[in-house]
């Protein structure tokens, strides 16, 4: 199977092609003001201070057309909006700040367009639209993915990051590892840590989402 392996190392992306599989990771500069404004209008929320809208991970199976990708825009679609969404997570001085501002501006009665200001989102990737899901008894071999072995490919990338008004940090990133054993079969075993970390300055626990995927 080694003859079916091809590696990409270009200016703004890297990746591998293995049998019918392609894994590509795009690294591009921070988004322009125009893109950020468009995102804000379309998503109807304030956008993280640093957003890499053209950074993404793409995994594609050529024969079936199956694709999954990780990108900032689709992740931010899942940020909660609406009444009380901005109040779920608060720092210690939040109450004092609100009381002070409402005292200065008594005409303010509610928050305009509230949203989860920590950008929390349970995002696990965007799948091909044409996929049909069926029940299966097949399980992911987690032990196989934990095995230490040489890697065909490794990469990590940031999709967005925000310092939450100097109250901590919120960051969405991914890390992908492609074990060398993939050259031995037609399946693609990937360790894909899609990490969302939210850390506030007032001893609030970190919030991390990770997933391991086998295709």
Terminal Cα-to-Cα distance of the chain (whole angstroms): 17
Least confident of 42-56, 84-98, 112-126, 142-156: 84-98
For residue 105, being part of any structural domain is answered with no
Note down the domain range covering 33: 2-81+118-214
Number of domains in the chain: 1
pTM given for the model: 0.74
**Alpha-carbon span 42 to 86, nearest angstrom:** 19
For residue 124, being part of any structural domain is answered with yes
pLDDT beyond 50 at 205: no
Q: Tell me, what's the pLDDT at 32?
A: 94
pLDDT band per the 50, 70, 90 thresholds, residue 113: low
pLDDT band per the 50, 70, 90 thresholds, residue 152: confident
For residue 106, being part of any structural domain is answered with no
Q: Which two three-digit tokens encode residue 127?
A: 């799948």
For residue 127, being part of any structural domain is answered with yes
pLDDT band per the 50, 70, 90 thresholds, residue 184: very low
For residue 198, being part of any structural domain is answered with yes
For residue 111, being part of any structural domain is answered with no
Q: Tell me, what's the pLDDT at 150?
A: 85
For residue 176, being part of any structural domain is answered with yes
For residue 52, being part of any structural domain is answered with yes
Residue 51's Cα: distance from chain center in Å?
11
Residue with tokens 């909006």: 81
**Alpha-carbon span 99 to 173, nearest angstrom:** 35
pLDDT beyond 70 at 89: no
């Amino acid at each position: 199977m080694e003859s079916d392996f091809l590696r990409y190392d270009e200016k703004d992306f890297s990746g591998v092609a293995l049998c019918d599989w392609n894994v590509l990771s795009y690294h591009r500069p921070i988004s322009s003001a125009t893109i950020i404004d468009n995102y804000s209008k379309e998503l109807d929320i304030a956008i993280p201070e640093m957003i890499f809208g053209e950074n993404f991970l793409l995994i594609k199976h050529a024969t079936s057309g199956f694709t999954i990708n990780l990108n900032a825009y689709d992740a931010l679609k899942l940020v909660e909006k609406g009444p009380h969404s901005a109040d779920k997570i608060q720092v210690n001085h939040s109450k004092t700040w609100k009381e002070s501002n409402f005292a200065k501006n008594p005409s303010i009665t509610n928050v305009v367009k509230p949203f989860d200001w920590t950008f929390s989102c349970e995002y696990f990737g965007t799948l091909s639209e044409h996929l049909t899901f069926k029940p299966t008894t097949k399980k992911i071999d987690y032990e196989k993915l934990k095995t230490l072995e040489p890697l065909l490919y490794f990469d990590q990338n940031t999709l967005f990051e925000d310092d939450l008004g100097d109250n901590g940090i919120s960051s969405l990133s991914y890390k992908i590892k492609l074990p060398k054993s993939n050259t031995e079969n037609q399946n693609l075993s990937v360790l894909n840590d899609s990490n969302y970390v939210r850390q506030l300055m007032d001893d609030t626990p970190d919030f991390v989402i990770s997933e391991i995927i086998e295709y």
